[in-house]
Amino acid sequence: MRLSRFFMPILKENPKEAEIVSHRLMLRAGMIRQQSAGIYSWLPLGKRVLDKVNAIIREEQDRSGANEILMPTIQSADLWMESGRYNDYGKEMLRIRDRQERPMLFGPTNEEMVTDIFRGYVKSYKNLPLNLYHIQWKFRDEVRPRFGTMRSREFLMKDAYSFDLTREGAIHSYNKMFAAYLRTFHRLGLRAIPMRADTGPIGGNHSHEFIIFADTGESEVFCHKDFVHFDIPAADTDFDDVAGLQSIFDRWTSVYAATSEMHDAAAFDAIPEGDRLSARGIEVGHIFYFGTKYSEPMGAKVLGPDGKEHIVHMGSYGIGPTRLVPAIIEASHDETGIIWPASVAPFDAVLINMKPGDAACDSTCDRLYAALRAAGLDPLLDDTDDRAGAKFATADLIGVPVQVIAGPRSAANGEVELKDRRTGARETLTLEAAINKLTSAR
């Protein structure tokens, strides 16, 4: 992509409405635009990162055996009357009527709808276990939408729903998601800690929130500091290995971790003082096992091996992609801007032409740009007429992992400068060596 053709409305001033660093940087880098309170458009730079986050989530859901579907945003109120949640959900639900005056709603979550899909087709235990997920917009009319897309009213959620014949089966399905979440957050460059959590309007009594530490987090969390050393499940984890997955779960829940709602001060105080960690955190995912809370009132049952009907056991598993983008920024930035982990960076490298019009600078940048693209990389070429200082500031702000700088003098010598955005380390290389270095990392 050439920056001269890329829509990236950078703000020079710090936006006044932004209280936390991720919101400020997302607005300054032209990633998002607020359309009304808690409702955002995603502009090209932000959309690129969001798509990368979604792709990682999807790969790990698929790896665990879940099936992707896409349910609508608009739901009929009838389904929610069946489960009994239509009245319970309160003002957070956006209720609407169609032209026939039928009550509809903008989905805040999809337990009812997915249970309706399930009961329409699945009649035998032989089709279980089943996990259906989608990545779709949700709407919750939050009292206090704030911090940009961190707590918005319209937000993207990956929500997965598992169906099993028995409670034991459902616990295995829960453990699959637990392991998939550990892998997902790790690949996003985050260390997320599973903590015992309150279940709120989703229900059930077996639930974990995945929390990352950040001073600006909305939750107060307490845990043992051993979490920092726990291993992430490997890419070749066998998700059908019941005992293997249970041992991952057992290990990751073997030491104390809880959010303030579930906090047990006595248990926490029993941990040696030097091993206690109390901090603020951001909830990036939340998983629930709630048994037959929806399947029972909605009649989702299958024939078991005993020839009898059984109400299925269910769980649901949420991740917030539009929250993850600011959460990653909270975890990874400095005073000059964002520092993306390579896995979600909007571009692989930014090529800074310090003097467009200079023959050596232009040809160096063109060669680099073509070579990186030929190797399957996605570079951003800053070919604008901005001053060099402004170009450096933009490159730092948007946080692309590598900067390649072509100035008139070095370009005339066949050289470029590479800058690592995270460490700030710089090195001068020949053009060929720079291309080799960038493409061999693939």
Q: What is the token pair recorded at 162?
A: 């598992």
Q: Stretches 7-15, 92-100, 114-122, 280-288: which one binds ligand 5CA (CB under 6 A)?
A: 280-288
Q: For 418, what's the count of Cα atoms within 13 Å in the CB-facing half-sphere?
A: 19
109 forms part of the interface with ligand 5CA (CB under 6 A): yes
Among 85, 172, 187, 286, contact with ligand 5CA (rule: CB under 6 A): 286
Q: Which is nearer to ligand 5CA, 90 or 307 (CB)?
A: 90
Q: Smallest gap, in angstroms, from Cβ of residue 157 to ligand 5CA? A: 5
What φ, ψ does residue 175 adopt, rounded to 5°?
A: -65, -30
Cα–Cα distance for residue pair 61/416, rounded to 1 Å: 41
Q: Does 107 bind ligand 5CA (CB under 6 A)?
A: no
Structure tokens, 260: 């303030």
Residue 159 or 382: the one with the smaller Cβ distance to ligand 5CA is 159
Find out whether 220 and 259 touch, Cβ atoms under 8 Å: yes
Length in residues, the chain = 442
Residue closer to ligand 5CA, measured from CB, 50 or 429: 50
| Residue 152 binds ligand 5CA, judged by CB under 6 A | yes
Least distance CB 212 / ligand 5CA (angstroms):
11
Q: How far apart are CA 255 and CA 247, in angstroms?
A: 14
**Cβ nearer to ligand 5CA, comparing 47 with 373:** 47
Sketch the per residue contact string, 303 through 322, with ligand 5CA: x for CB under 6 A, - otherwise. Answer: -------------xxxxx-x
Per-position b or e across 149-162, b if 16+ CB within 10 A of its CB:
bbbbbbbbbbbbbb
Smaller CB separation from ligand 5CA, 129 or 320 = 320
In the complex, the smallest distance separating the C-beta of residue 111 from ligand 5CA, rounded to whole angstroms, is: 6
| Min dist. Cβ of residue 337 to ligand 5CA (A) | 23
- The site for ligand 5CA, by CB under 6 A, has a size of 20
Interface residue with ligand 5CA, options 60, 112, 164, 283 (CB under 6 A): 283
Distance CA 168, CA 313 (A): 9
| Of residues 149 and 410, the one with the C-beta less far from ligand 5CA | 149
> Considering beta carbons, is residue 154 or 382 the nearer one to ligand 5CA?
154
Kindly state the helix (H) or strand (E) to which residue 34 belongs, with its residue range.
Answer: strand 32-36
State in angstroms the smallest separation of the CB of 265 from ligand 5CA: 24
- Number of H helices and E strands in the chain, helices first, is 13, 23
Binder of ligand 5CA out of 80, 106, 147, 155 (CB under 6 A): 155
Q: How far apart are CA 237 and CA 183, in angstroms?
A: 10
Cα–Cα distance list, 357 to 80, 361, 383, 395, 412 (Å): 63, 8, 9, 20, 13
Distance of CA 55 to the CA centre of its chain: 10
- Cα–Cα dist 347/411, whole Å: 23
- What is the Cβ-side half-sphere exposure of residue 74, based on CA atoms within 13 angstroms? 6
Among 59, 82, 142, 415, binds ligand 5CA (CB under 6 A): 142
CB 91 within 8 A of CB 120: no
Among residues 60, 112, 159, 164, the one that binds ligand 5CA under rule CB under 6 A: 159
Q: Give the closest residue to 239 by CA, choosing from 249, 230, 254.
A: 249
For residues 132 and 319, which CB has a smaller minimum distance to ligand 5CA in the complex?
319
User: Of 23, 48, 134, 151, which lies in the binding site for ligand 5CA, with binding defined by CB under 6 A?
Assistant: 151
**Could you tell me the smallest distance in angstroms from the CB atom of residue 110 to ligand 5CA?**
7
Chain residues in the site for ligand 5CA (CB under 6 A):
109, 140, 142, 151-152, 155, 157, 159, 202, 283-286, 316-320, 322-323
